[in-house]
Structure 1
Amino acid sequence: MTVTDRSGLRQFEESGFAVVRALFGPAEIEELCAEFTALHAAGPVPGHFEPRATETESTADPLHSYPRVLHPHRISALSLRRLLDPRLRDILRTLLGEEPLAAQSMFYFKPPGARGQAPHQDNFYLRVEPGTCVAAWIACDAADRENGGLEVVPGTHRMRVFCPEEADPALSFAREHVPAPPGLTAVPVDMAPGDVLFFNGSLVHGSGPNRSPDRFRRSFIGHYVGRSTQRIGGFYRTLTMSGDPVALPESGGAGPCGTEFTPRAPH
């Protein structure tokens, strides 16, 4: 999909998501992975990356030593460049119908054996008013059913934000679970490194555990809103795609994308 690709825009409008293949090249993805490999090796960064591993815990739950990284664009110049990349800006401007603002970045390591994230809707957390957000999910490894690739529920982008149920903690690191509404079914989105999945903030999506013996499923995610947005959750600080801060009034009930279960005690 490009700015002028009407079929990509039509799929986004009809299904709530669209994949742009090979938007980022191999060298760009390798650079991004190397950045987060170095961050992991350097240890905790309070408020952004806080592994809590002991040797015993790490064996029990890989996410104790490889938790997601929140807002890496605030601590990494490379992450900020990726979040504000002009290629993303061009596509987001088409999808949103106006100039985008960047609201959040995240990086998921998702090592072998890691739990997934139960189906959920991003705007449950961002609380964008009016309208919703759009995610740009950049695959840094091949993502498929074996290693916990994303699944989406087409059509849910036209629905309200649901009140979630509680997820199964054996399968999901986050508490919230939104089942597929009656008559709708989750479909997998297989991706190669450098592919980008764009999806509506009301689209129900999630992933299962990484059941591969030796494959990570790393990804870099940005969340964006339209320039006409009037309110957003206080956890988020919007930027223009040139990097200038844009202060927006705060909406209530917001939080990070996924409320994590209380860490399990070591075995």
Structure 2
Amino acid sequence: MCGLSVEQYRFFGENGYLRVEGLIGNEELQALDRHSMALACNEVDLNGLPVEARNEGTSPADMEDKYFRFIQFHKHLELHERYMLHGRVLDVLAQLIGPDVMAMQSMLFLKPPGQTGQAYHQDSFYIKTFPDTLCGAWIAIDDCDEENGCMGFVAGSNNEPIHQEVGAPENREAFNENLTEIQGVDESREVMAKAKAGDVVFFHGHLIHRSRQNRSADRFRRAYVCHYANARSYTEWGGGNSAHILARGQTHLEYAEPRFVEYDPLA
């Protein structure tokens, strides 16, 4: 059991994020490292699954120019589901959002040098739960800092309502075409979410955040990011509650079973 201190719990409530150092062990991290590079080199049979990439080449030059996002692959690949249901990650989530945890979304990001980032946004704008209990868990596969495009959090914005987003202006750096932008953000409140490989950064669904451009010469910024909510929250997102895994505890709502991992949510 990975127990949080009172100070950590209070910090999350006040600031909307919490970095837990070394939550993913070295051997587990190496497995994620090998898998992500195998995906990038087209060495994993994806059987036609959709992948977002800037090019299809596998030469060293092409590799440096790639940007992959593997979304919802926990429905198709065992490793993605296994890390989505990682025991120590769920231990922390159970303390932050309650003992009943629903696993909803997975995204593997492979961000090469030069790749842009994402606009300011709140995840609960897109993934709505009732009550609103959404929480992200961001597993750092590489060390990440301002140079290679770490996330930036507007500390304390978790205590603000969901803001209306508008189209991103053309003169701002690094916006993903699928995201709109929250305008008028007080950037003086932004905290750079630096992390070491193996750290996990948890962040509230209302937290305003963005990611920066990878300005490094030769460093990837890879991360496996999953979103969760209290399993007793109702959602219509992604097919509704029946499409999402009961990862921990119990619920009165419908839920999905894991597809690959033998797992007891009450264990």
Same fold (TM over 0.5): yes
* Counterpart contact for 2:151–2:211, Cα < 8 Å: yes
Q: Is there any run of 5+ residues in structure 2 with no aligned partner, and where?
A: 256-267
Cα deviation for residue 28 of structure 1 reads 1.1
* Counterpart contact for 2:231–2:250, Cα < 8 Å: no
Q: Is there any run of 5+ residues in structure 1 with no aligned partner, and where?
A: 249-267
Task: Give the aligned length.
Answer: 245
User: 1:243 and 1:76 mapped to 2: Cα distance?
Assistant: 24
1:23 corresponds to which letter in structure 2?
L
Counterpart residue number, 2:114: 113
Cα deviation for residue 81 of structure 1 reads 1.0
Instruction: State the TM-score, normalized to the length of structure 2.
Output: 0.82
Q: Which moved more, 1:42-51 or 1:128-137?
A: 42-51
2:53 corresponds to which letter in structure 1?
P
Distance 1:189 1:45, change over 3 A: farther
User: 1:150 and 1:8 mapped to 2: Cα distance?
Assistant: 20
User: 1:46 and 1:243 mapped to 2: Cα distance?
Assistant: 34
Instruction: State the TM-score, normalized to the length of structure 1.
Output: 0.82
1:49 aligns with 2:57: no
User: 1:206 and 1:150 mapped to 2: Cα distance?
Assistant: 6
Aligned partner of residue 116 in structure 2, secondary structure: coil
Distance 1:140 1:60, change over 3 A: closer
* Counterpart contact for 1:48–1:72, Cα < 8 Å: no
Q: Report Cα offsets for 1:44-76 as digits up to 9, x if no partner.
A: 654542435266xx989967x422110121122
1:234 aligns with 2:238: yes
Aligned 1:199-218 pairs, distance under 5 A: 199-218=203-222
User: 1:80 and 1:92 mapped to 2: Cα distance?
Assistant: 16
Q: Report Cα offsets for 1:100-119 as digits up to 9, x if no partner.
A: 11001110000011011111
1:150 corresponds to which letter in structure 2?
M
Aligned partner of residue 177 in structure 1, secondary structure: coil
Aligned partner of residue 119 in structure 2, secondary structure: strand
Cα deviation for residue 199 of structure 1 reads 0.6
* Counterpart contact for 2:158–2:207, Cα < 8 Å: yes
1:5 corresponds to which letter in structure 2?
S
1:171 aligns with 2:156: no
Pick from 186, 189, 210: which aligns with 2:193? 189
Counterpart residue number, 2:156: 155
Counterpart residue number, 1:26: 26
* Counterpart contact for 1:44–1:51, Cα < 8 Å: no
Q: Percent sequence identity over matched residues?
A: 31
